[in-house]
């Protein structure tokens, strides 16, 4: 596969204060890395991630610096331990006096999480052994453990359970050189945000330079404006295709400009198996819709752009395996033409996608004097997915608040680069 160059967002820690409340703010910075598959737990999203949100923090005693992918679609955090490859960063548990492996008799070892392909078990040393399976058919395994995790220059320190994994990684070596593991941020009991005890967290990603910020705690910024909240969907009965600890919201309608797609409301609701839930996932780059909804959106977007965009007439070209609506745009053109907006209407809130967030320039793909741009909505059916997924590309310039206490997500349109300047990061 051709190696392309994409942007990776790098978070570096900094502690900030407002005049009324203390909060922990982490500014986003950019770094170029080659693309490659990012390993994901089972029952998640089986496609490559070319842009990842990462957070830098320290673990252990004395502290070791690590960089972890911020993923609201996963529960268990893990670190690569004792890497056998010189270019891979790793956490060394033998150098931490506060590191503590978890025995298989511990209640933590029997905690249910969808991140495990099989239940955790005992190894020969009576330690809790876990196996994580990935979309590329590889797997990684290691032991559950706990250690001190420190963020914000040591302002927040907590003993946290994580996976100390040491085998089976197959992701791109250059991407490996940037990250040490994954930070699970969903609503499960073993997620990082649950273990740290934060009642809410927010992030804001800039659409101009991909910078932004991550905030733990209550923002209370009057300049953000009122947030529109949508409740998190709760289902108490276990269903085979429903992730009960994901950030699940109810998508109700989709509009292209002011035209609502002619779809029944029931098509957006999970069925009796749980298939069809709508998840907000920071670990996913783009947004994916079930086949019938994607087809209706594609048809209407094509109709409204027929006079301003030239379709790429290559039926076999499908970007990232699920994005089959692509265009040819002259490389000499400084900006994209005026595009119709796409509005995702949730219960109580609306997210409007406009401008360059609608089309993604595929690096390295040139047709004569034209660049290739693809529609940033994909068909989840092409990936054998059973869910709607709202990726972070469509969360640019949106203040995203995850309120765990009140079980809701808040949206507000914000210029995220200006937000960073206002907070002083």
Residues designated as active site: 71, 281
List the one residue out of 245, 251, 244, 284 whose CA is nearest residue 267: 251
List, in order, residues 6 or more apart from 307 with CB less than 8 Å away: none
Separation in Å, CA 273 to CA 119, 157, 241, 280, 380 = 22, 40, 6, 20, 17
- Alpha-carbon distance of 271 to 376, in angstroms, equals 26
- First-to-last CA distance in the chain? 38
337: number of Cβ within 10 Å = 11
**Cα 36 to the chain's mean position, in Å?**
16
For residue 354, say if its preceding peptide bond is cis, omega within 30 degrees of 0: no
3-state secondary structure of 10: strand
List the one residue out of 256, 260, 240 whose CA is nearest residue 387: 240
List, in order, residues 6 or more apart from 125 with CB less than 8 Å away: none
3-state secondary structure of 234: coil
Query: DSSP labels for 269-301?
Result: S--TTSTTEEEE-TT-SSEEE-HHHHHHHHHHH
- Alpha-carbon distance of 18 to 14, in angstroms, equals 13
List, in order, residues 6 or more apart from 204 with CB less than 8 Å away: 212, 213, 397, 398, 399, 400, 414, 416, 419, 420
Length of the chain equals: 425
């Amino acid at each position: 596969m051709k190696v392309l160059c994409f942007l990776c967002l790098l978070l570096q820690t900094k502690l900030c204060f407002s005049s009324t409340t203390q909060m922990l703010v982490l500014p986003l910075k950019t770094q170029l890395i080659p693309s490659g598959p990012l390993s994901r737990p089972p029952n998640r999203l089986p496609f490559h991630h070319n842009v990842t949100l990462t957070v830098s923090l320290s673990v252990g005693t004395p502290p070791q610096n690590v960089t972890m992918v911020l993923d609201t679609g996963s529960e268990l955090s893990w670190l690569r331990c004792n890497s056998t490859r010189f270019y891979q960063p790793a956490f060394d548990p033998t150098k931490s006096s506060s590191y503590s492996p978890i025995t298989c008799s511990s209640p933590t070892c029997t905690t249910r999480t969808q991140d495990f392909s099989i239940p955790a078990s005992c190894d020969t040393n009576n330690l809790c052994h876990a196996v994580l399976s990935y979309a590329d058919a590889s797997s990684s395994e290691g032991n559950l453990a706990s250690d001190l995790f420190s963020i914000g220059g040591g302002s927040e320190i907590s003993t946290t359970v994580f996976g100390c994994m040491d085998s089976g990684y197959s992701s791109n070596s250059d991407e490996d050189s940037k990250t040490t593991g994954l930070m699970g941020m969903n609503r499960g009991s073993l997620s990082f945000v649950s273990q740290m005890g934060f009642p809410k967290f927010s992030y804001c990603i800039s659409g101009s330079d991909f910078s932004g910020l991550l905030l733990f705690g209550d923002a209370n910024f009057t300049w953000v404006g009122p947030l529109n909240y949508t409740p998190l969907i709760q289902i108490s009965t276990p269903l085979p295709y429903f992730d009960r600890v994901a950030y699940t919201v109810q998508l109700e309608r989709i509009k292209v400009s002011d035209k609502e797609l002619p779809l029944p409301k029931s098509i957006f609701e999970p069925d009796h198996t749980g298939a069809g839930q709508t998840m907000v996932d920071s670990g996913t780059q783009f947004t994916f819709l079930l086949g019938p909804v994607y087809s209706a959106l594609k048809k209407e977007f094509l109709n409204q752009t027929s006079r301003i965009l030239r379709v790429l007439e290559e039926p076999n070209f499908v970007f990232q395996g699920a994005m089959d609506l692509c265009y040819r745009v002259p490389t000499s053109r400084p900006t994209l033409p005026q595009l119709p907006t796409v509005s995702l209407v949730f219960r109580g809130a609306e997210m409007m996608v406009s401008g360059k967030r609608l089309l993604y320039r595929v690096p390295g793909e040139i047709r004569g004097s034209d660049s290739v741009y693809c529609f940033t909505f994909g068909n989840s059916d092409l990936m054998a997915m059973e869910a709607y997924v709202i990726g972070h590309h469509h969360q640019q310039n949106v203040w995203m608040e995850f309120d765990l206490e009140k079980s809701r997500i808040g949206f507000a349109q914000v210029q995220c680069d200006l937000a960073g300047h206002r907070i002083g990061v």
